[in-house]
A and B are shown apart, each in its own frame.
Chain A
């Protein structure tokens, strides 16, 4: 990963308001050339708004941003020449074949018919879509569709790529495929700004992470630093009898030395831990107390827990519900 002097993306004090809601409330960010920034946050945190501004689709109400040295408002045309955009928006045409979508984009950005065709073939092959290239895009599976979206954003060989929740809704296999692609692009020198709801994803791909909450940056740093703040892993204990929740919580607190969160609805006790060493202690104490458990596991902290650890409050109500559904 090469890092040159000039950052690929610099934003200062970005503000965007929709009526009385403030989607972005003074966001600063810097992405060094050739690195990956992971923007982590729940729905409605302002991640997409930030990407849309940096992608010239939205004009900020305050602050300014430069991408590749060009101002995103005054030199939007120049910015569009060097960026690629993939997300919930910026979609391909579902009623056209994958190949035609790619050829169309090639033609639009000024490739000759011949160049556009060979570029499309090359991208289809690279994203393992050659066989499906002539099928209409709406027949694609979720993973194929995401790969086509990604291919579409790469037709112009962008040096800076925005990926807005590239794996949301994908199965683990398809998700790994997208991850591999991103890693390869970065090896080729592409700068990537990636938004995600999953700490695991940011951890797997990003050189540095920013956590957004309600339009503000609430934490930033290297993945290891954030995870250290949040607790590297989470120890979950689910008693067989919901009535034992309190006692389990007390045992866990005593064994780990941190007060656990008690989720009454799911009858689950969770606590952030730095490693698995406290697990045997918990098991022994539970056994001594004669408490049966249905679940005892170590896992990466969910975004909720990272949030709680970093911000001291849970992510916005509405989004927590979604995240809990997605995370477990």
Chain B
């Protein structure tokens, strides 16, 4: 190992770069998002939960339950109803991976490295969330390609259809702050997963994702009226295949704002305090 003098990029030069850059956190967040993409390229099997899993869910519900649910119309009649639902279910489920990955970063000491660097405190969290947007997007693209192949069409026009995809992506980016917070609060990745499933199942199955809410038993109907996922699914259907749109869309947007307003600050606080 040589003792050669270190490069011309001495501390003074670097400090100048850092201090004169009020938006340094943007570049830092993008760098950390890039890290997530590199990791995905390194371990493509980590994408299984946003590739095969959604397809399996779509195909399973379509062909196994399609006949029964659509009341004799067969799976072709069920597809337009089911696809928006499975989109929501898959994307919402993939958000919990964000919390698990963050928890893992903490356990392995990667985040302590970041915290010892002169970078903005929010960068590692925003970077993690942005990086995971790639996973959510993968899930959306895979499902839409499969859906189109099976004969799905945006019955309400392509513009509204794309808006629906944007909506579910934005919802995922709001909801994932809950998992970011839990990922920082809970000690182990298993703990995060345990809590997540406890919350996710009532959220997704107690909603009109797979069946009309009117077919649910009384208590589930009541729950489904409170459940934000119900409004998201309704808004998605409104945009993708037509139907009631205004109320579900507004309620969904309100939930998104609420989730960010509550959980993003909580997550940042937990990040600062975590020792």
Chain A contacts to B: CB under 8 angstroms? 52, 55-58, 77-78, 80-85, 87-96, 100, 104-105, 107-111, 115, 118-119, 122, 126-128, 136, 152, 156-159, 177, 180-181, 184, 187-188
Contact = CB atoms under 8 A, between A and B. Distances in A.
A92 B110 contact: yes
B108 A58 contact: no
Interface in B84-106: none
Interface in B175-205: none
A81 B19 CA distance: 11
Contacts of A181: 1
A78 B10 CA distance: 16
A34 B142 CA distance: 57
Contact of B119 (A83, A96, A109): A109
A181 B1 CA distance: 7
B35 A111 contact: no
A111 B110 contact: no
Contacts of A80: 116-119
Given A96-B39, A96-B42, A91 B118 contact: no
A328 B164 CA distance: 66
A111 B18 CA distance: 9
Given A96-B38, A108-B31, A82 B119 contact: no
A122 B86 CA distance: 49
A100 B1 CA distance: 21
Interface in B1-58: 1-7, 9-11, 14-15, 17-18, 21, 24, 27-28, 31-32, 34-35, 38-39, 42-43
Nearest to A188: B3
A109 B116 contact: no
A206 B149 CA distance: 69
Contact of A88 (B4, B38, B43, B109): B109
- Most chain B CB atoms below 10 A, which of A83, A91, A158: A91
Contacts of B115: 56-57
> Which 9 residue pairs are nearest across A and B when measured between Cβ atoms?
A91-B109, A110-B17, A89-B109, A80-B118, A85-B116, A81-B118, A89-B112, A110-B18, A184-B3
Nearest to B11: A157
B6 A157 contact: yes
A111 B17 contact: yes
Among A81, A83, A109: residue with most chain B CB under 10 A: A109
A108 B38 contact: no
A302 B4 CA distance: 36
B114 interface: yes
Interface residues of B, number: 39
A52 B117 CA distance: 13
Contacts of B34: 104
A207 to B, nearest CB: 18
A78 B7 CA distance: 22
Contacts of A156: 11, 14, 117-118
Contact of A95 (B15, B27, B31, B39): B39
B114 A57 contact: no
B43 A95 contact: yes
Contacts of B109: 87-91
Contact of B9 (A55, A92, A95, A157): A157
B108 A110 contact: no
Given A96-B39, A108-B119, A91 B1 contact: no
Contacts of B27: 107, 110
10 contacts: A78-B118, A80-B117, A80-B118, A90-B116, A91-B112, A93-B110, A110-B24, A122-B6, A157-B14, A158-B11
A93 B119 CA distance: 17
Nearest to B4: A126
Most buried by B among A56, A93, A136: A93
Given A90-B113, A136-B42, A184-B2, 18 more contacts: A56-B115, A57-B115, A57-B116, A58-B275, A78-B118, A80-B116, A80-B117, A81-B11, A93-B39, A105-B117, A108-B31, A108-B119, A110-B18, A110-B21, A119-B9, A156-B117, A157-B9, A157-B10
A90 B110 CA distance: 6
A88 B21 CA distance: 32
Interface string B103-136: 0000011101111111100010000000000000
Contacts of A52: 275
Please indicate which of the listed interface residues B4, B27, B38 has the most CB atoms of chain A within 10 Å of its own CB.
B38
A93 B35 contact: yes
B117 A109 contact: yes
Given A88-B109, A107-B31, A157-B14, A77 B6 contact: no
